[in-house]
Structure 1
Amino acid sequence: MKAVAEGAKGYRRLIPSLTALVEFEAVARLGSFTLAADELGVTQAAVSRQVRFLEESLNVRLFHRLHRSIKLTGEGEALYLAVAESMQRIAGAFDRLSSGAEEQELVLATTAAFSHFRVLPQLPALKHRQPQLKLRLTTQMFTADLRHNEVDIAVRYGNGKWRDGTSSLLFDEEVFPVCSPAWLLANGSPKSLIDLMKTPLIESDSTSEGWMNWEEWF
């Protein structure tokens, strides 16, 4: 708490007047003391006093005061860029908070294959329905424990009986054999599961939890 208090005190010392910065930004953006006064709802003299106060506080000239116009000095340009960017960010935060559309992040953990083939194609539709939602994908295997990871939702294969959260069934798995056209032309299509069992099958011994193999399928 002490560090925060010291930082706040430092800002007040370095920035003499936020009102002066607001009025300076309006003058620099509009290129006119008169237009800035109209926008802010104050007198031109009041705007001039605030800008003069900034110049005296910084000991620099912020504007070249020409016959019928004004122009930022080099120092004024540097200050305007910093103030304008900061005010845009502050205004954007106020707008999001006041409209209740603050961006929310959802962390989804799944396998790389599921993310690529099932999640990514649906991102445009999700963005349309939930524009304020920011989805962050993380690739994890089925053994990841939600209690020890910064993950909101995980997509897993299994019976849904896990201790680290509640589960909802998305869809059942569909398993079917595939072959090349050349193999089918040479061997013909199996007529039954027994015929399929007798054909040479490529077996993959997965180290990942949950993957179904040919022995379980038959």
Structure 2
Amino acid sequence: MKRPPPHNWLFVFKIIVESGSITEASERLNVSQSAVSQQIKSLEDYLGARLIVRGKKGISLTDVGKHYYNVIKVALEKISATTDQLFGSGHTDIVTIKSNYSFADTWLSGKIHEFHKLYPDTQVELYSGLWLTDFGEIGRGIEIRYGDGTWSDAKCYQLTQDNIFPVCSPATHSAINRLEDIFDHPLVSVMGNKTGWQEWSSEHQRSLHIKASNLHVESNLLAYKAAASGNYIALGINSLVDGFLDDGSLVRLEYGDMKSRENFFIVEPEYYSISPKEMQFAEWMKSEFKPVK
């Protein structure tokens, strides 16, 4: 394996590309143009490939230069962000958690005091959202996501191994004596969930005609609250709905369950390093759930 070139050569290459010219790069770096030219020449000689082409209007990148720049840019920015986070002005003891809304409400809000018993001096900022895009402006931290775990931008650790089954209020339960009765009631579905009524019915080889859901909501928590207060029937996910079953506001309908195609994951994004305190929180979270095989 070829050893990486010196860091300063890579940094100069990045600045040249972002400046658009050798002259502008030399001004930004506060060194002579000849020094900048020598650095990029040394990098190209080391790699055995041309990265930039000089022209009257500045520089342009070769095909391999474009690809190499994209890789170098991400790597250098990650190093810079991590250095600042751990040792510079970005260093902080605050743990930033970005969580799926339903998970934050039904699990984290009732458990986070146990973390603070272990680490009483750690500050935690907890943000919740329905979609991944809801966290765009929050910055760094760790995330708790609901999905299939195939995110290319992160390292994922599966927390739950969920099953799905029908649930309803005690009053509605008294009116259901057979499977067919479920579909005489209004159904509630959660937008974005990959496992819904059609999948549940197919799993159990039911030949029943599945009517369209009467109510579509953005979160599992809203679905359970609607079912608890009305005559809707929802599909419960055990890691979220167990609290409703325990307090009696919802009842499980024993007509079969199925493995969910989605679960909850704790996520450590690849493009920056989480802080030691956030790592501590992540390890506490993992310890709260049995390892998923």
More helix by share: 1
**TM-score between the two structures when normalised by the length of structure 2:** 0.35
Q: Which has the higher contact order (CA 8 A, sep 6+)?
A: 2
Higher radius of gyration, 1 or 2: 1
Name the one with the larger strand percent: 2
